[in-house]
Structure 1
């Protein structure tokens, strides 16, 4: 049941979903937001007016977002007077309304969760972490040609080492598990594991791999990318990451057979030039993929990865185009999607109106695109690019640029609004 602690809008409509996991968005959707911890309130105060202004300018009042605040993290503890970092009514509301946006959350030491963000993804089955990585002209970047980077990374969100199944070194549970493993290894004539080791389980399943890869391929088709690359460490972990690769190819073959082809088919049947509209399915070893990102990023469009590989690669790719301050993110399932700033909460800057709100603003752009409100998303991008093009940036970018005008977090948002039309 909805909690009376939620100030639910008296007007507006709830988003529904079709059978393909796509949202059906009314003209006045109710969309929850979580401010986040640390600098979260600062960047939300800058981002929300930008999103509202873009929708208002684009649709002239015919469409509007009705915001609903939900509590999580430190704000939930302060407001509810308990140790509840992630109230059940917050999870229920996210499920009910379907699309939400959030700032960064901090998990306090000893708070009962390994990570609030991981808990959100697992409880809501947000199995696809989607990280677009694109260069905004004018942003300082550490590579010569950041404009060649145009990637979207689909990272499996519920399995791999992030499933959190592990036991402390020398604990009774770890020792019990290791004794069973060593008995099996001894029977197979393989080297034994140290009995005082910590133990972690790395689960990967056919179902969760295939639904991630299917969403990645569909995204590539919808957004006109010509390749989807399966990134794995299957040369070493043959039955987990190697299976991720095999299940990915199987998904492409069985679900998108008329749309996809492998690299082998590309060169054997088409001389290395893909027919218009076809998507090439590639695979790369994870460590080699880091090199490819630096040397030949233009050869890659959509990447589909297990959880840990995607975590590393998405942050590394974001660094190539200027860092996490300008990196949007989304966690998407079949009936729910939460868009989020990808950086941390930076508590030492909390309340100073200083940090860069670009990540959250760009996450708002991705949210609008997910809703089908592309015109409003394009307007924000125009305002953002023109603002940066005029040298108006927050401190993190100003210190790397010549002749930049350093402004506050809120002033950066206002500058974007003023350049939106």
Structure 2
């Protein structure tokens, strides 16, 4: 019988053979890509474990459909159910720009305290890339998910609240801002949230034999927020992981730039320089830990470098539960046309299987997707860039992956 995933006393997951997983198809093209993704995940599990394991997906209301039916964009019952199930997967959801409700994606991360947004960027052979050496790109971004400017603490220009903050700034700093035309936003970054994010990034590097962790920041300008992110991150690395971590200055002073076997180099890079570094010297970077906004920027850049958001997976992981999601938007003009690339959600599903420690099924998914791309039977976004490719529908791409997984 289907059963919920539980937490063991040590914080690891106890996954039954027939777990219930929450799913939110999403808005726009979300249902299209979910309908292509679901059979891929089910086929992978069935094939990897000879029918002895099976996922039951439980659809949860959120987004436009939920709003039309219930008047709520994100019902509390959905959040409660994700907490109870421990694991969920979701398609993209609508977010108005410059007005209206805040991002539902951000709301889910904050309400469930999914503090680590994890986005791998790894080149898939055969995918068109704007880079000269895309095969050198193999990085994992750990983006802090709960604070920074995404905390949503802001007031519009001309509001009483903005004027009050502007007046306080003038009194405390002597700096004058135009009270009627200046919007105000607050950028909170805390020791606790920084350190749990960096701790998770370094632990990932240890567990997966990665070579370096780079703290990406703009601490030269924002000294008490992003500068603090750097300092607090270095503190975690040099105290909690002293047996594994080596700082760059020591690396060059004592080891002539050649890290001792099994060590992890803890680096730091100013954000604007980081964008150059991943373009010019991608082989020098492995795991990147960043505040919320920087992490958003760098993960999208890396996605473009390896072929675009259509193949970029993402996970939002907290202490108690996790939500895996497509990293792209809803693309409403293609909604219902069975056209868009489901690769992002499919690869996010593979991350979900890894999170459940069903690694055999996860590898089946990734291998079959790579084979499908190599066969040049791909969705329109890839077909228009790959010479000799044949365009297939979203659902057919998913079916092709399923066929490649079955004996």
CA distance in 2, matches of 1:148, 1:163: 34
Q: Quick check: 1:355 aligned with 2:345?
A: no
Q: Quick check: 1:278 aligned with 2:263?
A: yes
Relative to 1, partners in 2 of residues 1:95 and 1:89: Cα closer, same or farther, differing over 3 Å? same
Q: Quick check: 1:288 aligned with 2:276?
A: no
Residues 192-227 of structure 1, C-alpha deviation per residue, up to 9 Å, x if partnerless?
Answer: 233231111100000000000000011111112110
Between stretches 23-32 and 111-120, larger displacement belongs to 111-120
Runs of 4+ with >6 A deviation: none
Relative to 1, partners in 2 of residues 1:387 and 1:87: Cα closer, same or farther, differing over 3 Å? same
1:51 to 17, 30, 41: 41
Instruction: Give the 5 Å matches for 1:317-332.
Output: 317-332=302-317
Cross-structure match for 1:374: 359
Give the Å deviation of 1:50. 0.5
Residues 194 and 229, structure 2, Cα contact 8 Å, conserved in 1:
yes
CA distance in 1, matches of 2:377, 2:162: 54
CA distance in 2, matches of 1:298, 1:279: 15
Structure 2 portions without partners, runs of 5+: none
CA distance in 1, matches of 2:12, 2:281: 33
Q: Secondary structure at the match of 2:192?
A: helix
Relative to 1, partners in 2 of residues 1:202 and 1:19: Cα closer, same or farther, differing over 3 Å? farther
Cross-structure match for 1:195: 179
Q: Quick check: 1:87 aligned with 2:72?
A: no
Give the Å deviation of 1:23. 2.0
Residues 144-169 of structure 1, C-alpha deviation per residue, up to 9 Å, x if partnerless?
Answer: 11111001000001111110001111
Q: Quick check: 1:315 aligned with 2:303?
A: no
Q: Quick check: 1:33 aligned with 2:23?
A: yes
Q: Secondary structure at the match of 1:290?
A: helix
Cross-structure match for 1:6: none
Give the Å deviation of 1:83. 1.8
Residues 113 and 119, structure 1, Cα contact 8 Å, conserved in 2:
no
Superposed CA RMSD in Å reads: 1.3
Instruction: Give the 5 Å matches for 1:144-155.
Output: 144-155=132-143
Residues 263 and 280, structure 1, Cα contact 8 Å, conserved in 2:
yes
Instruction: Give the 5 Å matches for 1:12-411.
Output: 12-18=2-8, 21-78=11-68, 81-108=69-96, 113-186=101-174, 191-196=175-180, 197-411=182-396
CA distance in 2, matches of 1:168, 1:121: 24
Between stretches 13-22 and 310-319, larger displacement belongs to 13-22
Q: Secondary structure at the match of 1:63?
A: coil
Residues 96 and 102, structure 2, Cα contact 8 Å, conserved in 1:
no
CA distance in 2, matches of 1:19, 1:234: 38
CA distance in 1, matches of 2:95, 2:84: 25
CA distance in 2, matches of 1:287, 1:151: 18
CA distance in 1, matches of 2:385, 2:9: 47
Residues 327 and 341, structure 1, Cα contact 8 Å, conserved in 2:
yes
Residues 155-186 of structure 1, C-alpha deviation per residue, up to 9 Å, x if partnerless?
Answer: 00111111000111111111011111100113
CA distance in 1, matches of 2:391, 2:196: 44
Give the Å deviation of 1:13. 1.7
CA distance in 2, matches of 1:419, 1:29: 25
Give the Å deviation of 1:32. 0.6
Residues 21 and 333, structure 1, Cα contact 8 Å, conserved in 2:
no
CA distance in 2, matches of 1:110, 1:24: 42
Give the Å deviation of 1:108. 4.9
How does the TM-score come out when normalised to structure 2?
Answer: 0.97
Between stretches 20-29 and 311-320, larger displacement belongs to 20-29
CA distance in 1, matches of 2:289, 2:11: 18
Residues 73 and 107, structure 1, Cα contact 8 Å, conserved in 2:
no
Give the Å deviation of 1:22. 3.1
